[in-house]
Amino acid sequence: MYHERSMLVHLADILRRRRVYVASCFALVLLGTAVVTFTMSPVYRAKAIVQIEQPSGFVLRTDVFGAGFTRTVPQEQAEMLDTYPYRSLVDSIVIISEKEGILLSEYKTSEKIRPLFEQILCGTADSPDIEGCIVARAARIEGRNPSVPKEEEHFDQDIQGRLIEDTGLIELFAEAESPRRAQDAANAAALTVVWQNERLRKEEARNTVRFIRNQLEAPGGVKQQLAEADEKLASFQREKAFLDANEQIRALMLQVVELSNRRWQGNLRLTDLRTRLAATRQQLGQEPSTLVSPTIYENPTVQEIKKQLVTAEADLLALQAQFTDEHPRVQSAVARVEALREKLRQEAARIESVQRLPNPVYQELYKNVALLSADIVGQEAQMRALEKTLSDVRQQMLAVPELEKQLTQLLRQRQALEKRYLFLMERLQEAELTQAVKLGNARVVELAQLPGKRVKPRRILNMLMGTILGALLAIGFALLLEQIDRRVPSAQQASEWLKAPLLGSIPALRDGAESPILNQPVAVEAFRNLRTTLRLSSQGRPLRALMVTSPSPGDGKTFVSRHLAVGIAQSGQRVLLLDADLRLPMQHRFEGLPLSPGLTNVLIGESRLDECLRHTGVDNLWLLPAGDVPANPTELLESARMEEILAQLRERYDMLIMDVPPVQMFADARVLALHCDAILMVLQPGATLRDAALHAMETIHTLPEGRFVGIVANRVPVSTTNSYGPYYPSVRRRGS
């Protein structure tokens, strides 16, 4: 709340200071509004209403897209009202109707509107370009060249259309300086909408029929594409024998189950055959292929050898029971047994070669081995064929998704073409019906009546808006000037921006500013207040040396330091005014004294201090002029001699006031600030630049802390200072 109030106070201060510009800007805007309002010709408005129904079908819009389908909606009709051809046609209809005395209010139905445009307004029957005919006839009536279009600013009426949402109603407004022309223009606009809508719809229907037939029957059209899609689908089903993916998968699964069972049974039979073959081969290996005749065992020689062998083996066993194997008798017995065995084998072989017969068991087993081997070979061939068939069936199952995808694409293409074909056939029937009926979807709901009062200018509203606009522009202009003007606007704002206390405001003097002693009560009282404020701001500290400076030349530091010294001297203190501005000294002019000898002469040793001190016309006030302007003022002020002089002056006088150069421009002020007790900065609202004041404050803040006491506003208008009117008649007279 406080912040808002502060902003309002700041704005009020800006408006007060810029009141001349604010008042001028406001007056100019208000005057311009009044001149325009009271010199403007009266304007009358008439209104007609047209309804456009939403069509159920689609029509061709070659004027927008070149080819395609879209709905004709009331919004599009309302947008057509802003086109030049429409406005030109309405203007031509109004011109012809006024010339021929045609009452447009009598043509409301579609049956009357068509002959109005095609016969009455055009003037010739069966014209191929009715709009061009009407515009050309109006041009001839006005005496213009029909081939040169009429400029819109030359139309005597203004046409506007507004669509009422969700109703299909279009309000047509016509404004003109004549009530009759406004009525005719509104009616002409309504009749034009109805006629153009009917003509456009018939033209679109013809284009639609032509376009759809071309889409259907042209080479490569929808009908041919649909036939090609049917042929592709039938060819795919014949070649792939693929109708339905689910049925195909089910049939293949049955084949896989059946083949798997057969493979399992074949594996069992193959295992059995291999087992039987192994057993038979084992039996075959155990049976001899031939048999020895039984007479071999009855041969007397064999019998004799066998008896000898039995006897020799018995002897061997008896010897082995008595002796070791290395014994000669045992070895002789072993040799005799081996010899008998060899003899028996030789004899048996001899007899066998003469009496050997084929073994029937061996022959049977050999036959069984051959048969089993043949069965195994045949069974393995069947198993390989079975595995290949099963692999083929599985490949067919893996190919089903791809076939299904191809079939789906073919079916989708055919369905899309069939849908497009049926859609075009339906639109073709609708377009042919629309072309045959020749009816539009717009009708006149209400024709315009003769307006009785003007709608423009609205004088009260215009003046009210002009007042508001003038106030806003005036405030904006004042704020713009405030931003452009980089000067310090007021003493209070300077204190806020610089964050420095405002010790006093010195009023602007019309005369007597150069006099040694002020005689204007307002100025005298201002310096008394400044003197008192300085004493209070010292907070009990001794204030013996005061430095007065400013941000830039011309702010009034010399004037303030002079008369502040006068005010302090009048209070009874011994005061020395030291003109330390060695670059542009001015204090000697108040007393009419010469510039030298002065401070510089003392510093360089040309004069003694007592010789340079001058008593002024004010009691208790002495002046030390600057002296001759040196080439190196800063070096002189920094010298030890300057420090000695200031120490002497502090002992002699109660108050030492130093007038120093601007703090922003030279280093002199910073040098002397080390020898003073307080620093006072003088600025002039409306003249001192903000940047200069800010830079000066930044420089002062670099000086020893606590020495800066505040700012003094110089040459402030009397009305912004304290009101002295009741106490000083001269101030009261000036204020009046």
Residue 419, H or E segment:
helix 360-437
User: Nearest-5° angle of CA 89, CA 90, CA 92?
Assistant: 65
Burial 670-698 (b: 16+ CB within 10 A, else e): bbbbebbbbbbbbbbbbebbbebbebbbe
Higher confidence at residue 283 or residue 350?
283
| Predicted pLDDT at 294 | 52
Amino acid 454: pLDDT: 73
Is 733's pLDDT higher than 60?
Answer: no
The lowest-confidence range among 40-54, 65-79, 115-129 is 65-79
Higher pLDDT, 69 or 708: 708
Q: Is the pLDDT assigned to residue 595 strictly greater than 50?
A: yes
Residue 179 has, within 13 A of its CA and on its CB side, a CA count of 7
Q: Can you tell me the mean pLDDT for 705-715?
A: 85
pLDDT band at 661 (very low <50, low <70, confident <90, very high): very high
**For residue 169, what pLDDT is reported?**
86
**Average per-residue pLDDT in the chain?**
79
**Looking at residues 23-32, what average pLDDT do you find?**
87
Per-residue pLDDT band for 72 (boundaries 50, 70, 90) equals very low
Highest mean pLDDT among 55-69, 336-350, 670-684: 670-684
- In this prediction, residue 240 carries a pLDDT of 63
Q: Which tens digit of pLDDT belongs to each residue from 650-659?
A: 999 999 999 9
pLDDT category, 642, cuts 50, 70, 90?
very high
- Angle, alpha carbons 14-680-592 (nearest 5°): 105
Tens digits of residue pLDDT in 387-403: 888 887 777 777 667 66
Where are the domains positioned within the chain? Answer: 2-35+458-484, 43-216+437-456, 290-358, 491-735
The DSSP 8-state label assigned to residue 326 in this structure reads T
Enumerate the β-bridge partners of residue 290.
Answer: 358
pLDDT band at 65 (very low <50, low <70, confident <90, very high): very low
pLDDT band at 424 (very low <50, low <70, confident <90, very high): confident
Q: What are phi and psi of 685, to 5 degrees?
A: -60, 135
**pLDDT computed for residue 546 by the predictor:** 93
- Summarize the confidence of residues 498-508 as an average pLDDT: 88
Q: What's the CA dihedral at 587, 590, 591, 595 to 10 degrees?
A: 40
Q: Which two tokens stand for residue 487?
A: 């000067």
Nearest to 439 by CA among 199, 209, 210, 206: 199
Residue-level pLDDT at 231? 78
* Residue 437: predicted pLDDT: 61
Q: What is the mean pLDDT of residues 265-287?
A: 82
Instruction: Look at 51-65, 277-291, 435-449 and tell me which has the smallest mean pLDDT.
Output: 51-65
Strands (E), 123-236: 157-164, 169-176
Q: Distance from CA of residue 113 to its chain's centroid?
A: 52
Query: Two tokens at 364?
Result: 């049977």
From residue 189, give the alpha-carbon distance in Å to each of 75, 84, 150, 158, 543: 16, 13, 18, 11, 91
**312-368 pLDDT per residue, tens:** 777 777 776 666 777 788 788 888 878 887 887 777 777 656 555 667 777 777 778
CATH topology of domain 491-735: Rossmann fold (3.40.50)
Which pLDDT does position 403 carry in this prediction? 67
Dmax of the chain from CA atoms? 195
- CA atoms of 399 and 252, how far apart (whole Å): 11
Radius of gyration of the chain (CA): 66
pLDDT of residue 71: 43
The number of residues making up the chain comes to: 736
Find, among 29, 19, 32, 8, the residue nearest to 481 by Cα: 19
The dihedral formed by the CA atoms of 543, 548, 551 and 553, expressed in degrees to the nearest 10? 180
Closest C-alpha to 208, from 70, 399, 388: 70
pTM over 0.75: no
Q: What are phi and psi of 579, to 5 degrees?
A: -85, 90
pLDDT at 174 over 80: yes
- The pLDDT value recorded for residue 66 is 36
* Concatenated DSSP letters of 224-249: HHHHHHHHHHHHHHHHH--S-HHHHH
pLDDT digits (tens, 9 = 90+) for 601-616: 999 989 999 999 999 8
Task: Judge whether residue 297 has pLDDT over 60.
Answer: no
- Residue 94's region, left for phi above 0, alpha for psi from -120 to 50, else beta, is alpha
Q: Would you say residue 57 has pLDDT above 50? A: no
For the cut 80, the answer to whether the pLDDT of residue 680 exceeds it is yes
Q: Where are the alpha helices (DSSP H) in 287-326?
A: 300-322
More confident of the two residues 461 and 519: 461
Average pLDDT over residues 28-42: 82
The pLDDT value recorded for residue 415 is 80
- Give the residue-averaged pLDDT of 447-464: 78
Cα(first)–Cα(last) distance of the chain, in Å? Answer: 36
User: Does residue 591 register a pLDDT over 60?
Assistant: yes
Give 338: exposed, middle or buried? Use CB within 10 Å, 0-12, 13-18, 19+. Answer: exposed
Report pLDDT for 263: 80
pLDDT at 593: 86
Q: Count CB neighbours of 250 within 10 A.
A: 10
Position 194 pLDDT exceeds 50 = yes
> How would residue 564 be classed by pLDDT, with cut points 50, 70 and 90?
very high
Please say if the pLDDT value at position 227 is more than 90: no
What pLDDT is attached to residue 735? 39
Q: What's residue 734's pLDDT?
A: 42
Average pLDDT over residues 694-712: 83
* pLDDT at residue 550 greater than cutoff 90: yes
What pLDDT does residue 259 have? 80
Residue 683: the pLDDT is 92
> CA 626 from chain center: how many Å?
68
Could you tell me which residue, 84 or 516, shows the higher pLDDT? 84
> Percent of the chain at pLDDT above 70?
84
Are the beta carbons of 663 and 700 closer than 8 angstroms? yes
The predicted structure's pLDDT at residue 706: 65
Residue 572 Ramachandran class (φ > 0 left, ψ -120 to 50 alpha, else beta): left
- On the question of pLDDT at 372 being above 90, the answer is no
Beta-bridged to residue 174, according to DSSP, are 46, 159
Residue 692 has pLDDT above 70, yes or no: yes
pLDDT at 63: 40
pLDDT at residue 293 above 90? no
How far is residue 576's CA from residue 653's CA, in Å, rounded to a whole number? Answer: 7
Q: How confident is the model at residue 643 (pLDDT cuts 50, 70, 90)?
A: very high
Q: Are the C-beta atoms of residues 227 and 235 closer than 8 Å to each other?
A: no
Q: Are residues 714 and 559 in contact, defined by beta-carbon separation less than 8 angstroms? A: yes
Region 450-468: mean pLDDT is 79
